[in-house]
Amino acid sequence: MSESAQSPKKLTGVERSAILLMTLGEQDAAEVLKLMSPKEVQKVGEAMAQLGAVDRETVDAVLAEFCDTVDEQTDLGIGNEEYLRKVLTSALGEDKAGNIIDRILMGHNAKGLESLKWMEPRAIADVIRLEHPQIIAIILSYLEPDQSAEVLANLPENMRADVLIRVATLDGIQPSALNELDEMLEKQFAGNSDNIKTAGFGGVKAAANLLNFVDSSIEQQIMEQIKENDEELGQNIQDLMFVFDNLVDVDDRGIQALLREISSENLIVALKGADEAVKEKILKNMSKRAAEMLRDDLEAKGPVRLSEVEAAQKEILAVARRMAEAGEISLGGGGDEFV
């Protein structure tokens, strides 16, 4: 990707992060990457690989934005948690800053549970499939939703609904119990244990968020099984799920902000299977020229596999949720409280 073809202001947070890291040099960039989660490393790594030649104007703009933000926060550079959070957010984007803050300020070095984040979902499923469903539910609540969704899909079909019900009804976990689980996994992976962050584990929102990342066919099957077991719980989970067609309920300002953070190619593929109302919502929040180009691209794209459409939609929804968590947009409809 050549940055000279677009304005620096149109760069996504991940792309700005990639440019900033490339200016730091190998050693300093490596130190920053060590503080990131596997998913974060993958995303920023992909962005760095795709940047290609970046012109001086773009680099200067990214560095100037970072320096301006730092200057606004403090004259001395002597910060506290809030200062550090703002600086890292400016440098790395909202979707990465939170986890890095936890690692820096909380000394988060758990090797048992944390090691799972670096494993392939199928391998995780193989490791935990013989554990009690409650243990599996705790582990899935600890992992990132998209990774948990893939693990769930690789579990035996007859386990999935039971595990998700346990995720939905999980109301936190005692630190001692979580430490025991971490130690158990630690022995398996020959790691070490440290402090574990326990707040916010499980719950209906966590179950809904996890299901948002599951393939549609598996999602429908799981929801049917949950409703057979507990109709009210199933409905509560469904009410909190935010699907692609729900973007029609996001206000215009939110849609415009979202469009700045997603690629045009992803958008084209996602819209191939979208409701007409969503397409019109997107088009009306573009400039006339951009909307015309998008219509032309949609017509020229031709047939697209349903799996590709669903993957593109889920990727865009992941960006929307991260922006909602950062307070940048508000997800409308029944998902107002679920971000």
pLDDT in tens, 183-230: 777 666 554 334 434 434 568 877 887 887 777 778 878 888 888 888
Residue 337: what pLDDT?
36
Using only C-alpha atoms, what is the Rg of the chain? 21
Query: pLDDT-derived band of residue 333, with 50, 70 and 90 as boundaries?
Result: very low
pTM for the whole structure: 0.44
pLDDT tens for residues 123-140? 888 888 888 888 888 888
Query: pLDDT-derived band of residue 239, with 50, 70 and 90 as boundaries?
Result: confident
What's the rounded mean pLDDT across residues 143-155? 86
Residue 339: what pLDDT?
32
Q: Is the pLDDT of residue 249 over 50?
A: yes
Q: How many angstroms separate the Cα of 151 from the Cα of each of 17, 259, 264?
A: 29, 30, 29
Domains of the chain are 3-106 (no CATH), 112-240 (1.10.220.30), 244-335 (1.10.220.30)
CA 174 – CA 258 distance, rounded (Å): 38
Lowest mean pLDDT among 143-152, 184-193, 233-242, 276-285: 184-193
Residue 229: what pLDDT?
86
CA 288 – CA 296 distance, rounded (Å): 12
Is residue 267 classed exposed, middle or buried when 0-12, 13-18 and 19+ CB atoms within 10 A define those classes? buried
Please answer whether residues 44 and 17 qualify as being in contact, where contact means their C-beta atoms are separated by less than 8 angstroms: yes
Nearest Cα to Cα of residue 191 among 104, 102, 131, 115 = 115
Please answer whether residues 88 and 42 qualify as being in contact, where contact means their C-beta atoms are separated by less than 8 angstroms: no
Residue 264: what pLDDT?
86
Residue 318: what pLDDT?
81
Q: How many angstroms separate the Cα of 258 from the Cα of each of 94, 103, 246, 266, 323?
A: 13, 28, 14, 12, 8
